[in-house]
Amino acid sequence: MLTPEPRIGNRAGYRAAACHAPHLRGGPLRTDFRSGPELLVERTVLLFGPCFFSDRASSGSGFDRPASTTGGILDVVSEQPAADSPPPSAAKLRAWRRMLADERAEATVYRELADRRHGTEREILSRLAEAEQRHAEHWRRLLGEYVGEPRRATFRMRVLAFLARGFGWIFVLALVQRAETRSNYESTADATEAMAADERVHGEVVRALAAQGRARMSGTLRAAVFGINDGLVSNFALVLGVIGGGAGTTLVILTGLSGLLAGALSMAAGEFVSVSSQRELIAAGKPDDTADGAVPLLDVDANELALVYRARGMSAAEAERRAEVVLRRPPPEQHPAGEEPDGGEVVGSGAKAAASSFAAFAIGALLPVLPFLLGLHGLLAVLVAAVLSGSALLLTGATVGVLSGAAPLPRALRQLAIGAGAAVMTFLLGLVFGVTAS
């Protein structure tokens, strides 16, 4: 009989099928859905027995393939060359070995990340590792007797494996997210369409996990990164400004330390006021816990309780229904505000936020002054300060890119350009005014 051929790479058609089983065991395609936090994991299972499809009857390609579901969401076992087929080319073997090494390394990354998590996240990451291992098996079967010695993964995958072992998982997840979205399986003829679809789905799963990690991350880390960046840019520009005016080492140190202290205090004060005001604003919007005593005394027919819900944004019909539900409850359960939804907004302590901002700004602002504090003078001190500040700007820019799920390199270069631009402008300003140390 003729059956539609599962696509392998970009090849499709019809071929003869011969089942190496007395009958098809199973039935229709079954799809099971499991819900995780903010994502949907779809598992597809094909319930057919083992059948072998022969291409010889239709295309004469010289390959026999058994049906399988191990290579992707719905896949076929990799092609195995028949005895009379020519061996794969050296270039193809190199490509297959590279794919095999990368898939094994990616499975290792997911396993390392899973070992650091628990619950649903651990289960999801373990499932992703299993999927990558199935992809690796696809390339191993393609290689067959040519598999050779295990090859090193690409530099990118080795870096991801290192980060997974030694650093925070949110950063690695953000990088893996970009790696999954850059998968080239769609343009690789020897990868199945199901494998390419797997990689796209994996990218969405990792994107959801990374988004949850960012949402759970306290604002302290973000404030620290931006505080360091602010200190770097402002104090580096300030130091270069007085250097451009011809100031000596003593005045440069005094100016730099003054800028450090003033900026850090300003950042801390601003953060304290901001966080405290936000906490007060949230507290002011919460329902009054003592108002529930008035509920039993309300006129049920007038149903003025509905006004509370309308004032909180409900439509008139929704407010009426909610008020009726609350009025029917026993008195201990009655509250005019009903069940307030948890917006998930977490606001830390104002004092902690202020201390974090002060320390972050001070660290960033110290770097441009550090060479002068260590006794360096003249052009050497300026060059060392520029290298330290530039490296820190690249690091903070890349960190912001990773946290936001964007490409780290463009963000790092953008941050370096901003800092360099500010420093050049103040340096030129110092040259114009000719400020000198007394």
- Asked if residue 400 and residue 274 are part of one domain, the reply reads yes
Q: Answer yes or no: is 244 within a domain.
A: yes
Q: Answer yes or no: is 438 within a domain.
A: no
Question: What confidence category does residue 288 fall into, taking pLDDT thresholds of 50, 70 and 90?
Answer: low
Q: How far apart are CA 169 and CA 154, in angstroms?
A: 20
- Asked if residue 367 and residue 256 are part of one domain, the reply reads yes
- As a whole number, mean pLDDT of residues 412-426 equals 91
- Asked if residue 62 and residue 132 are part of one domain, the reply reads yes
- As a whole number, mean pLDDT of residues 284-309 equals 57
How many domains would you assign to the chain? 3
Long-range contacts of 430-433 (CB under 8 A, 24+ apart): 430/240, 430/241, 430/242, 430/243, 430/244, 430/245, 430/246, 430/247, 431/244, 431/245, 433/245
- Asked if residue 57 and residue 142 are part of one domain, the reply reads yes
Q: What is the pLDDT of residue 292?
A: 53
- Is this prediction's pTM over 0.85? no
Among 4-18, 104-118, 213-227, 362-376, which is the least confidently predicted range?
Answer: 4-18
Q: Answer yes or no: is 111 within a domain.
A: yes
- Asked if residue 128 and residue 51 are part of one domain, the reply reads yes
Q: Answer yes or no: is 343 within a domain.
A: no
Q: What is the pLDDT of residue 369?
A: 94
Residue 334: pLDDT over 50: no
Sheet harboring 63-66: ordered strands across? 2-4, 14-18, 52-54, 63-66, 80-81
- Asked if residue 46 and residue 31 are part of one domain, the reply reads yes
Domain range holding 209? 2-216
Residues 6+ away with beta carbon under 8 Å from 57: 15, 16
- Asked if residue 209 and residue 226 are part of one domain, the reply reads no
Tens of pLDDT, residues 220-269: 567 778 889 899 999 999 999 988 888 888 999 999 999 999 999 998 89
- Asked if residue 249 and residue 101 are part of one domain, the reply reads no
Residue 155: pLDDT over 90: no
Final residue in a domain of this structure, among 271, 303, 333? 333
Percent of all residues in the chain with a pLDDT value above 90, rounded to a whole number: 14
Q: Answer yes or no: is 115 within a domain.
A: yes
